[in-house]
Amino acid sequence: MTTIAVTPAAELPRRDWPFLIAAVLGTAVLVALVWLDGQPASAALILGGFALGIAFLKSEFSFTAAWRRFLVNGEAGGLIGALLLIAVAATVIVPVAALAPGFGGAIAPIGPSLIVGAFVFGIGMQLANGCGSGTLYTAGGGSGRMLITLALFIVGSVIGSLHLPAFLALGGIDPVLASNYFGAWGGLAVTLASIAIAAGLIAAIAKARGANFKPRPLILVGAIAIGLLSIAVFLAGHHPWSVTFGFTVWGAKLAALAGYDFSHAEFWQWPGPKRALAASILSDTSSLTNLGMILGAMAAAAAAKPFARTAWPPLPSLLAAAIGGLLMGWGARIGFGCNIGAFVGGVASGSLHGWIWFAAALAGCAIGIRLRPLFGLSRE
Amino acid sequence: MPSFRSFLRQLAPLAAAAALSFALAFPGHAETVTPLVSSGWLKQHLGDADVLVLDVRPGADTFASGHIPGAVHSDYDKAGWRVTRNGVPFMLPTIAELEKLIGETGIDEDTRVVVVPAGAVFTDFGAAARVYWTLKVAGVTKVSILDGGYAGWAAEHNKTDTGVVKPSPKIFTATLNKALFVDAREVEAIEQKGGATLVDARPATFFAGKEKAPASQAYGHIPGAVNLDSATFYDAKTNRLRPQAELAALAATAVPVGPTVTYCNTGHWAATDWFVLSEVLGRQDVKLYYGSMVDWTADASRPLVSARTKWDDLKKKLGFGS
Amino acid sequence: MMRVVYAIVLIAGIAAVVADHLASPSSARAVSPEDFAGACAPCGAPCPSVQKKS
């Protein structure tokens, strides 16, 4: 006698059509606006972001959880996966940034600003349960808690923008870029070697702690997909994928609308930020990919199951979300980016600041992990 | 029966009146050339040896179906009053081109030219102003515009002729009068360092960047310019420039006294602003940037100010905007 | 309810982006702050060596 296994109706995926349609429609509207504005590259950035949202959501590619597992258990699969992602992106970003006019890598000065900012970001990301990319795809994916983080991330970014000039005044050295010292291909070799060395060290630590260091298949697929999409975003925008500048602009535009006067803020007189504040949100590369990613994650989440049907977490958890967001926003501005802009972007460009950012952020994570139980969050 | 003497006495006032009007109608050769002349004046001076009536209305057929007696036709659009140089249209011709164009029309350095616009709308006054300016730039000193144009002449039921008129060419040697114009480089210097008021003679929508001339590459106005629409100087009801006092008042509020440069899209409307400020109101140091916005926007590195938004761009893209 | 919050945020967010875009000055291609000369970071900050001089 044969038995046929039947999946109970409750477990079948149920598309959440309203949110799926809204996400796709919203994306279509934004793409149409930039297309009609004669900016196909902007359309590519929105769609690239959309695809990144899907990739992150489907592979559950979390930097935050991966780093926490490594620090707490020595489990290195997620972290190695991130390094693979960066290596994939670097193969194009290092040489093209060095050789092609109009293209540039992610660079940053090395000094107190970088270290303090990254450290504070690290604390924040563990309280928030997400980093730059994590906030985008988790909020897009239907986590109300992450909406709070996103809101405070935006607030923190604006505050950080007002403090950054003072931190820069503390001093530092000009960016250290591998291709400047070793040429385009030498720089790539050095970059890939540095990634390999880091992976080796991390794997060794994992082994010493009796933990796994091989990424799960889903993480491997995700890493390669995200790496390739990072290349696409780089080629369309002429600079590596960046997340937190977009938040900074959104926050500043809202503040300006409410009457805040940025004409005395040094950050907002630098040519890049000044132009971004005056021009359309859709003419900022970081905003384009951010919007695309939120909507892509929303579409992917709504296509798989009912959207935002979970209960709100308890208040202490929401408090951690808010504080985490604020710290990440501030830290990202002071530290020249988040896990994507500074770590992935920096290392994939062959810039030394990427590694320093990583080390300082990891140290901040250690502190953040210790603070988690205060808000009722798990240590793992 | 009235005596011959009483007859003469009755005639005296009439004779005096006749003599007076004779004197007024035929003043001496040292009479000053005014920038504008009336139909009445032209009627009196049509026969003068040095007067040449230059009808600049577009279209040979328009001219042939009715023109001022003795007038010569020079099509404003086609005769070569504005030429394409270095890919930019509607520019000032070269000296050689000017000598040929002006000479072949029958004008030389001594000719007293009366430029005749259509007289229907402020834009055709601009055409006459641009021809007036071009003649002065080339060194023809005695130039006037017929106030009211051909329409004004015809409305007063003056005699008109039909058919084609062959001009009697003269040899004309041009003397370029650089005090009347500026080029892009000089305007760039003014925009950066000041030293003159830039006057934008276009309608407000062009100034704001909501509209542009087809030949222009971009929207907006030159940074620092003031807007003085050339139509402001024109009285649409009478189809003439406004009275001098009104022109002076309009100019006083809009343009500070001092070095001035007028421009528009192609140096057409701007010629009216130049004519009013320089010729009618007698202001010093007023120049025409004849390349205007079509020339200015040809170089993407030159700055522009506009209130144009992406909504304006979208409206144009979708077909219901400009 | 979380869904309601999301619906409001989504609609308000897209509306805000569209309004900001249409009200913004007519201009050129998408840029990042690094596109501007002298930028030494993804936010467009100037380099320490430049700052020391000024």
CB-based contact C10 A309, cutoff 8 Å: no
Residue B6 has pLDDT above 80, yes or no: no
At C28 the pLDDT is: 47
Chains in touch with C (3+ beta-carbon pairs under 8 Å) read A, B
A291 pLDDT tier (thresholds 50, 70, 90): very high
Fold of B178-318: Oxidized Rhodanese; domain 1 (3.40.250)
- Does position B256 have pLDDT exceeding 70, yes or no? yes
Mean pLDDT over A49-54 rounds to: 98
Interface test with A, best of C6, C27, C43, C53 (most A CBs within 10 A): C43
What pLDDT score does A14 carry? 84
- B311 and C25 within 8 Å at the Cβ level: the answer is no
Q: In the prediction, which pLDDT does C34 show?
A: 63
Q: How far is C54 from chain A (nearest CA, A)?
A: 11
CA dist A250 and A264 (Å) reads: 19
Q: What's the CA gap between A192 and A83, in Å, rounded? A: 10
Chain A hits for B310, CB-CB cut-off 8 Å, are 33, 37, 280
Judge whether residue A2 has pLDDT over 90: no
Give the model confidence (pLDDT) of B60-70 as tens digits.
999 999 999 99
Tell me, yes or no, if the two domains B30-155 and B178-318 fold the same way: yes
Q: Is the dihedral of CA A241, A246, A247, A248 positive or negative?
A: positive
Which residues, 6+ apart, have CB-to-CB distance to A236 below 8 Å?
Answer: A41, A44, A45, A48
Q: In CATH, what class is B30-155?
A: alpha beta
Mean pLDDT, residues A285-300 taken together: 98
pLDDT, tens digit, 9 for 90 and up, residues A160-189: 999 999 999 999 999 999 999 999 999 999
CB contact under 8 A, A284 and C32: yes
Residue C10 has a CB neighbour count (10 Å cut-off) of: 18
Which chains neighbour B (Cβ–Cβ under 8 Å, 3 or more pairs)? A, C
Contact residues on chain C for A45, CB-CB shorter than 8 A? 30
The answer on pLDDT for B26 being more than 70 is no
Find, in chain A, the residue whose alpha carbon is nearest to that of B310: A37
| Alpha carbons within 13 A on the beta-carbon side of B241 | 29
Position B27 pLDDT exceeds 70: no
C-alpha A137/C-alpha A142 separation (Å) is: 9
* B22 pLDDT above the threshold of 70: no
Check residues A124 and C47 and name the one with the higher pLDDT.
A124
pLDDT of residue C43: 80
Taking the domains of chain A in order of start, what are their residue ranges?
15-375
| B178 interfaces chain C, CB cutoff of 8 Å | no
Write the pLDDT tens digit of every residue in A187-223: 999 999 999 999 999 999 999 999 999 999 999 999 9
Boundaries of every domain in chain B? 30-155, 178-318
- Helix, strand, or coil here: B36? strand
Residue with tokens 């993407």: B300
Give A264's DSSP letter: G
Tens digits of residue pLDDT in B113-149: 999 999 998 889 999 999 999 999 999 999 999 999 9
Sorting pLDDT into bands at 50, 70 and 90, what band is A380?
Answer: confident
pLDDT digits (tens, 9 = 90+) for A108-138: 999 999 999 999 999 999 999 999 999 999 9
Q: Does C25 contact B312 at a Cβ distance shorter than 8 Å?
A: no
Would you state the pLDDT for residue B30? 45
Check if the beta carbon of residue C42 is closer than 8 Å to that of residue A248.
no
Query: Which value does ipTM take for this structure?
Result: 0.92
**Residue A366 amino acid letter:** A
CB B69 within 8 A of CB B161: yes
